[in-house]
Amino acid sequence: MTEPRWASGSDVELDVLALLLRTNAEALADRLRPVPPTSGASVISALAAAKSLGTVLDDFVVSLVRRARAEGHSWAAVGYALGVSRQAVFQRFGPGTGEATEHGTTVLADAAERAVQALGQFLSGELEGLRAEFDERMTAACSVDMLESVRARLNKQLGQGWDLGEPSVDSQPGYAVVEIPINFNNGKRKGRIALDSDGRIAGFFVLAANAP
């Protein structure tokens, strides 16, 4: 990537959360759209997607509070935005409860290799193995059922044949972000995988080829 999209660790986190929100919301909408009264499986899938969406929303609030504090906003201003008192917001998000910390720049020598392997697992349907590499947030927000749903939709739209292009790696504070072109039979996409400093997958997405 000649012009990195993410300029700081918090930007990577917010972008990952934004994509997770969109993915979970789309999955929930897909499951709710045709829900016949007798379709218990669809209702259960919708419940799982709703739970994942709630988890991501909670994480998004935490991340935005960290961003607000890093930009110099007071606890009173944060509390006002959330509709609670300064004391309540400080008790929930203050020091010792996960307020923002600084991360060193992540340099993973095998980031590209790890990301290519992960994307290959997804495209080949090895979803349990892929999910085992997720960090805690991704595990909570992205079930095997959701991964399979996204994979099935891609196969339906673009065909099952695929090959991967040359990965590009952008090292950011706390993360290594890898983008990989995907050439399907009937179109192009790109994988975007964020790896944390421990090599865990903190973000995993298949996006439009021209997505920023």
Domains and CATH numbers, the chain: 9-71+103-208 (3.10.450.590)
Amino acid, res. 11: D
What percent of the chain is predicted at pLDDT more than 90?
Answer: 25
pLDDT digits (tens, 9 = 90+) for 58-101: 878 888 888 888 888 998 898 889 888 888 888 888 776 554 44
- Inform me whether the pLDDT recorded for 45 exceeds 80: no
Paired tokens of 56: 């991501």
Q: What is the rounded average pLDDT for all residues in the chain? A: 80
Host H or E run for residue 176: strand 175-184
Asked if residue 197 has pLDDT above 50, the reply is yes
Query: Does the pTM exceed 0.85?
Result: no
pLDDT at 25: 77
pLDDT score of 191 more than 90: yes
Strand partners, 171: 176
- Sequence-ordered alpha helix ranges (H) in the chain: 9-32, 40-70, 75-82, 86-93, 111-124, 127-131, 136-141, 144-158
